[in-house]
Amino acid sequence: MTIEQFNEDKKGYFKAVENGVEAGRMTYTWAGPKVFIIDHTEVNPDFSGQGVGKKLVMEAVQFAREQEVKIMPLCPYAMSVFKKTEEIRDVLR
């Protein structure tokens, strides 16, 4: 499975792809130059239970660390990952 990122000035998303099929997508909106808001995570039902959503959140965390920015997880799923995973809270706003 590969994770692709599409980033624009105000919005962006991470997309998980497996064998040419979109397994999931997580969208975000920039809230200034140093913070982005994860607003939605959706997993293709065919990939349910395979950890696709968590992989998308972890990719966002990696991006945030590389860019030295913070994440506001307004998406309930992303928020739950931050609550359960202490080691990624360094990028939490």
Dump strand ranges (E) for the chain.
2-7, 11-18, 21-30, 35-43, 70-73
- Per-residue pLDDT for the chain (93 aa), expressed as one digit of tens each? 999 999 998 999 999 999 999 999 999 999 999 999 999 999 999 999 999 999 999 999 999 999 999 999 999 999 999 999 999 999 999
pTM as predicted: 0.95
d(CA 60, CA 36): 10
How high is the pLDDT of residue 10? Answer: 96
CATH topology of domain 2-91: Aminopeptidase (3.40.630)
How high is the pLDDT of residue 75? Answer: 97
Of 45, 85, 49, 44, the closest CA to residue 71 belongs to 85
How high is the pLDDT of residue 26? Answer: 98
